[in-house]
């Protein structure tokens, strides 16, 4: 079995890749104005590859674009520019319209368990929805598969007639996961799947996700702001800052040898449950996360970067390899080595 | 438990109930704890364990129709706060006990400028100090904005155009204390113009500017980004040293507690299950729930670490289990656990636990 | 890994980390809670009783008239069943009017008019406005803007002028007035539905429906409409009284039925000349109109409180 340090990204091993994907939201002065003068650059030129049967974590803080990237990758919000290749096919191509086929293979689990289930749908109806809509199954077939999905996430048939209002947060999230795996997809995008849950429930769901990955050979794209969860679950980690991908590589490599100044700061800020290692009290972080409407010129991190120089203000650095499979977008990768 | 009076806050056998249409729910059940001077005590637990209720009761902001303090004492500097009236309680709020909340957006008044809100906090402090000390000294601020009659109230005229220069300096100092850059600009801003981290700092500034002896913080960093959280936590620790307050931190995040706390109190289903100094708790957790909590924090990589989730879920407080509340989920459960409730005992020096595994 | 029976931990409006007390709630208990708070609310009970009374009367009168059975004590249009202008008595509970017709019979006979129109207009407004508003919110963009501008046009129509215009063009009568009210009434529901539907459209389960291959119309009818219906229904209940009042106004102006057919509003107009000499004549039609409005309002209020308290 490959260790996370040896992930190759040859095209057979990659289930989905994005090529310079951007999503800009125009800010119009009024409904009728012709060309908007400003854009919210939610995602700006992101190229990422998701290896098959592995977990890729996308981490960052609010406004970094990771949630938009998740929506873009599933084509819920098509990108403004760039290509997305799923198993070698360009799904951003206007001629390509096989949505049902795409969603049989790509599914999503959302952050808020309350908002992801229709409060008027029973559990079994929620889980059955993708089976009816994407596979066109009916009657007995649906019932069998719903039962199978529920069992796989640790719920029993007594839960299937309940409404979301009768379930706990953890149970609701399990239903959401059961719905996502109902069609046995290949890729599941997990958008902050545990952020709204208590600590003990979070651990249950994390364990469940790991087991399901083995059982169904799933590929995961995990969006999270929690570094510890990302570190635990993922094989590959990508760090986003104000719409840009700033670092990306095998998880162990990114956590232990982060090279981008923002990644260094981010990892240093994650509280470690260890009173002998009080990392938080020793860090120096300048400034705040910038707005996505008017991001700083050049490298978006330059106003807060201790290594910034003139070139950082002018040119946004591209991703460069610093180790096998480990890429960093910084003009001075050598300084942080 | 130390029974000396050197503790700033001493809670004994505090019980808080909520009256609902389904019955009475005991949110906090016979809780006893101490908060010494100039220390940070973290109360850790999951949803529904009663930690927020406990925090609100200290400052006296419990919604008293549904909630009710059914018993116990809250001794603040040797004064029991429980039997006080709302008016008497108000005297403590701000200048003695201050509070900061989880959601800075809803804690700041959106229609007043930030500077005005801090001014209000400072003026309240000055009014009380003047009342208490009965000195005429330092009443410059008072005389320029008040007549002698209004010393009785804490209302501030909203239509002033300029803050007096002394007040303005104080406000800017308060903002500098919380490490806000460009404080002169910030005092003219409205809360919605600031980011979450800035708003939280403003809230801390308002709380600290009144120089309270105890600061109750209810999940102050949960709604913030990771890097902002680190900045705010660092700030709180530094302020503790500068202003000499104690902090009562309510949080669900054990990792945050480990970074800043001197002592950790673990709560479960309305009860305290363990009290220990932070090093003891992390090196030698005694209560099975504490052990469970520690082992379900994701740390390390999936290849080498094993996450052990605690099976089951928190009990319904309307109908708590007989005996130890954690018994249904406890891997070490014994027969006596389902029949009787254990008491909080001192297992080691300064390390208390409520569990039959440790005597009782 | 089968999960043991879990209890629901309540999440309060402040977010998951506050500690509002809670416990497991099954659908049966939820329904019981609503009924219990409805029962506790005396106003709601009063409203329910009144509304039930009106509905029952309307149904009975309508059915009996269709089946050609007489239920009223006297024929509502027969003149001189008693001495004209007689005050209320045992023979004539609400007295007789200037032509000796029994007022009570007339009022009963007129019940299906107001009640029927009240329900019909609100129902149609609910359906039309609800669909327009929720579709606009769901699709968004230009379609949303266009539909809302159309709604605004209807909003701007002056009710009275339209009523008179229709009366002149198509003639007076109950059906025409019902048409007028239907045209006027739906825009409010469109706005209301749109507001509620916007909230629902941003929920994750709508995105999940898209990811499940659920088509746009199916999403609208299976996800959006059911989730906005409670708010709309509560508003509609409160609103029936408004329609009754509006219709009474139109018939008072003589735009609806013509005498001798009985109709509450029209009766008020007809009897107002005798207000000083025989006040009981205008009193009773006015009373039944007011009581109808009060009944529906109380019921709507009670419903709203019961659902909000849940």
Please, which pLDDT band fits residue C26 given cuts at 50, 70 and 90?
very low
Cβ–Cβ gap A288/B296 under 8 Å: no
Top pLDDT among C193 and C70 is at C193
Contact B72, B12 (CB under 8 A): yes
pLDDT at residue B35 in the model: 94
Q: In chain C, which residues have their Cβ closer than 8 Å to the Cβ of A197?
A: 16
pLDDT at residue A288 in the model: 78
- Test mutation, A26, A32, A115, chain C, max C CBs within 10 A: A115
What sign does the CA torsion over C246, C252, C255, C258 have?
A: positive
pLDDT at C296 over 70: yes
Contact B225, B25 (CB under 8 A): no
Helix (H, G, I), strand (E, B) or coil at B192: helix
Contact A206, A232 (CB under 8 A): yes
pLDDT at residue C72 in the model: 76
Chain C residue at shortest CA distance from A104? C212
- Interface confidence, given as ipTM, is 0.87
Cβ–Cβ gap C17/B18 under 8 Å: no
User: What pLDDT digit, counting tens, does each position of B238-274 carry?
Assistant: 888 888 899 999 999 999 999 999 999 999 999 999 9
Cβ–Cβ gap A4/B225 under 8 Å: no
CATH pick for C40-74+102-309 out of 3.30.70.3270, 1.10.3720.10, 3.30.9.10, 1.10.8.590:
1.10.3720.10
Alpha helices in A156-314 (DSSP H): 169-181, 199-216, 227-233, 251-256, 261-269, 310-314
Structure tokens at B339: 């029949």
pLDDT at A12 over 70: no
CA angle A51, A57, A61 (to 5 degrees): 150
Contact B89, B60 (CB under 8 A): yes
Q: In chain A, which residues have their Cβ closer than 8 Å to the Cβ of C197?
A: none
Contacts of B151 (CB under 8 A, 6+ apart): B127, B130, B131, B142
pLDDT at C1 over 80: no
Q: How many residues comprise chain C?
A: 310
Which residues are paired to B80 by β-bridges? Answer: B75
What sign does the CA torsion over A231, A236, A241, A242 have?
A: negative
Cβ–Cβ gap C19/B27 under 8 Å: yes
List of domains in chain A: 36-97+225-337 (3.40.50.300)
Q: What is the rounded distance in angstroms from the CA atom of residue A314 to the CA atom of residue A173? A: 45
Contact A200, B296 (CB under 8 A): yes
pLDDT at C122 over 90: yes
pLDDT at B170 over 90: no
Alpha helices in chain C (DSSP H): 27-40, 42-66, 103-139, 141-156, 159-170, 174-201, 204-211, 216-219, 225-252, 264-271, 279-309
* Strand-pair category, A236-241 with A14-27: unpaired
Residue A242, chain B, CB below 8 Å: the answer is no
Average pLDDT of chain C?
82
Q: What is the rounded distance in angstroms from the CA atom of residue B41 to the CA atom of residue B240? A: 12
Neighbours of chain C (3+ CB pairs under 8 A): A, B
Cβ–Cβ gap B22/C15 under 8 Å: no
pTM equals 0.84
Q: Number of residue pairs across B and C with CB atoms under 8 Å?
A: 57
CA distances to A171, A234, B307 from B294, rounded to whole Å, are: 22, 21, 10
Mean pLDDT of A290-313: 85
Please, which pLDDT band fits residue A97 given cuts at 50, 70 and 90?
confident
With 0-12 / 13-18 / 19 or more C-beta atoms within 10 angstroms meaning exposed / middle / buried, residue C155 is middle
Please, which pLDDT band fits residue A128 given cuts at 50, 70 and 90?
very high
Cβ–Cβ gap B103/C14 under 8 Å: yes
Q: In chain A, which residues have their Cβ closer than 8 Å to the Cβ of B197?
A: 288
Please, which pLDDT band fits residue B3 given cuts at 50, 70 and 90?
very low
Chain C residue at shortest CA distance from B318? C23
DSSP letter for each residue of B249-303: EEES-HHHHHHH-SEEEEEETTEEEEEEEHHHHHHS--SHHHHHHHHTS--S-TT
> How large is the angle between the packed helices C174-201 and C225-252, nearest 10 degrees?
150
Distance from CA of A60 to the nearest CA of B (A): 9
Distance from CA of C2 to the nearest CA of A (A): 4
What sign does the CA torsion over B156, B162, B165, B171 have?
A: positive
Lowest-pLDDT choice from A259-263, A283-287, B50-54: A283-287
User: What pLDDT digit, counting tens, does each position of A281-299 carry?
Assistant: 777 787 777 777 778 888 9
Please, which pLDDT band fits residue B136 given cuts at 50, 70 and 90?
very low
Q: What is the rounded distance in angstroms from the CA atom of residue B117 to the CA atom of residue B199? A: 12
| Structural domain boundaries in chain B | 106-209, 287-358
Alpha helices in A56-181 (DSSP H): 66-73, 99-105, 113-116, 123-130, 139-152, 169-181
Q: What is the rounded distance in angstroms from the CA atom of residue C272 to the CA atom of residue C7? A: 65
């Amino acid at each position: 079995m490959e260790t996370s340090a040896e992930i190759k990204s040859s095209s057979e091993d990659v289930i989905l890749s994005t090529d310079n994907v951007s999503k800009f939201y125009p800010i119009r002065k009024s409904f009728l104005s012709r060309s908007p003068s400003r854009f919210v650059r939610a995602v700006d030129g992101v190229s990422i590859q998701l290896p098959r049967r592995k977990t890729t974590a996308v981490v960052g803080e609010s406004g970094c674009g990771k949630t938009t990237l998740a929506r873009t990758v599933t084509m819920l919000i098509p990108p403004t520019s760039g290509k997305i290749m799923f198993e070698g096919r360009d799904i951003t191509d206007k001629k390509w319209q096989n949505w049902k086929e795409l969603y049989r293979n790509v599914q999503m689990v959302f952050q808020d368990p309350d908002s992801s289930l229709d409060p008027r749908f029973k559990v079994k109806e929620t889980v059955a929805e993708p089976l009816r809509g994407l596979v066109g199954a009916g009657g007995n077939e649906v019932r069998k598969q719903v039962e199978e999905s529920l069992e796989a996430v640790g719920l029993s048939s007594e839960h299937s007639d309940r409404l979301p209002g009768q379930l706990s947060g953890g149970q609701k999230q399990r239903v959401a996961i059961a719905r996502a795996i109902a069609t046995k997809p290949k890729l599941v995008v997990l958008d902050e799947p545990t952020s709204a849950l208590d600590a003990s429930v979070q651990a249950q769901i994390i364990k469940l996700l790991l087991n399901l990955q083995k059982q169904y050979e799933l590929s995961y794209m995990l969006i999270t702001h929690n570094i510890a969860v990302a570190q635990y679950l993922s094989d590959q980690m990508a760090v986003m800052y104000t719409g840009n991908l700033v670092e990306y590589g095998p998880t162990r490599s990114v956590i232990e040898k982060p090279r981008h100044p923002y990644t260094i700061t981010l990892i240093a800020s994650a509280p470690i449950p260890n009173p002998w290692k009080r990392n938080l009290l020793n860090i120096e972080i300048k400034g705040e996360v910038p707005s996505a409407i008017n991001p700083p010129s050049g490298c978006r991190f330059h106003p807060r970067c201790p290594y910034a120089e003139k070139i950082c203000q002018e040119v946004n650095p591209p991703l460069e390899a610093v180790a096998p499979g480990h890429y960093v977008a910084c003009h001075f990768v050598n300084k942080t080595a | 438990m130390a029974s000396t009076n050197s503790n700033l806050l001493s809670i004994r056998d505090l019980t808080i109930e909520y009256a609902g249409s389904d019955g009475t729910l005991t949110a906090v059940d016979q809780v006893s704890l101490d908060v010494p001077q100039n220390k940070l005590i973290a109360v850790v637990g999951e949803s529904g364990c009663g930690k927020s209720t406990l925090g609100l009761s200290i400052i006296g902001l419990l919604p008293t129709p549904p909630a009710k303090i059914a018993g116990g004492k809250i001794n603040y500097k040797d004064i029991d706060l429980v039997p006080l009236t709302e008016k008497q309680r108000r005297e403590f709020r701000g200048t003695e006990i201050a509070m900061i909340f989880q959601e800075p957006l809803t804690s700041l008044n959106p229609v007043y400028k930030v500077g005005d809100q801090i001014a209000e906090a400072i003026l309240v402090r000055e009014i009380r100090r003047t009342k208490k000390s009965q000195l005429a000294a330092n009443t410059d601020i008072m005389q320029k904005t008040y007549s002698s009659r209004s010393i009785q109230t804490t209302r501030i005229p909203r239509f002033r155009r300029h803050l007096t220069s002394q007040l303005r300096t104080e406000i800017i100092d308060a903002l500098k204390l919380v490490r806000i850059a460009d404080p002169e600009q910030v005092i003219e801003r409205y809360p919605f113009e600031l980011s979450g981290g800035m708003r939280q700092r403003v809230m801390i500034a308002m709380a600290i500017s009144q120089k309270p002896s105890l600061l109750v913080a209810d999940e102050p960093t949960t709604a913030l980004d990771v890097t902002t959280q680190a900045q705010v936590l660092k700030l709180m620790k530094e302020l503790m040293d500068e202003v000499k307050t104690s902090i009562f931190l309510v949080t669900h995040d054990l990792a945050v507690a480990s970074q800043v706390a001197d002592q950790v109190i673990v709560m479960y289903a309305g009860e305290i299950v363990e009290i220990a100094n932070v090093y003891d708790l992390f090196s030698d957790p005694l209560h099975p729930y504490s052990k469970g909590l520690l082992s379900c924090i994701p740390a390390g990589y999936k290849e080498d670490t094993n996450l052990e989730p605690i099976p089951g879920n928190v009990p319904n407080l309307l109908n708590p289990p007989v005996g130890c509340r954690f018994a249904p989920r406890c891997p070490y459960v014994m027969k006596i656990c389902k029949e009787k409730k254990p008491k909080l005992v001192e297992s080691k020096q300064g390390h208390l636990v409520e569990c039959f595994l440790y005597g009782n | 890994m089968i999960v043991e029976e879990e209890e629901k931990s309540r999440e309060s409006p402040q977010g998951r980390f506050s500690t509002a007390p809670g416990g497991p709630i099954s659908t049966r208990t939820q329904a019981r809670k609503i009924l219990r708070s409805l029962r506790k609310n005396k106003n709601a009970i009063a409203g329910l009783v009144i509304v039930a009374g009106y509905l029952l009367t309307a149904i009975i009168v309508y059915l009996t008239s269709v089946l050609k059975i007489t239920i009223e004590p006297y024929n509502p249009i027969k003149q001189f069943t008693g001495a004209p202008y007689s005050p209320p008595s045992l023979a004539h509970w609400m007295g007789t009017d200037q032509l000796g017709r029994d007022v009570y019979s007339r009022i009963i006979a007129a019940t299906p008019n107001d009640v029927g129109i009240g329900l019909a207009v609100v129902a149609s407004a609910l359906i039309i406005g609800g669909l327009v508003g929720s579709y606009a919110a769901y699709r968004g963009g230009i379609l949303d803007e266009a539909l809302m501008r159309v709604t605004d046009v209807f909003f701007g129509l002056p009710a009275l002028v339209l009523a008179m215009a229709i009366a002149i063009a198509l003639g007076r009568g109950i059906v025409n007035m019902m048409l007028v009210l239907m045209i006027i009434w739906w825009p409010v529901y469109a706005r209301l539905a749109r507001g509620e539907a916007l909230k629902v459209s941003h929920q994750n389960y709508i995105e999940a429906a898209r990811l499940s291959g659920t088509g746009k119309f199916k999403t609208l009818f299976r996800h959006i409409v059911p989730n906005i219906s409670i708010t709309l229904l509560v508003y509609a209940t409160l609103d029936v009284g408004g329609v009754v009042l509006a219709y009474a106004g139109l018939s008072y102006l003589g735009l609806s039925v013509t005498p001798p057919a009985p109709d509450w509003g029209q009766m008020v107009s007809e009897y107002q000349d005798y207000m000083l000499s025989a006040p009981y004549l205008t009193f009773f039609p006015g009373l039944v109109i007011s009581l109808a409005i009060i009944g529906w309002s109380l019921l709507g209020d009670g419903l709203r409180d019961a659902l909000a308290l849940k």
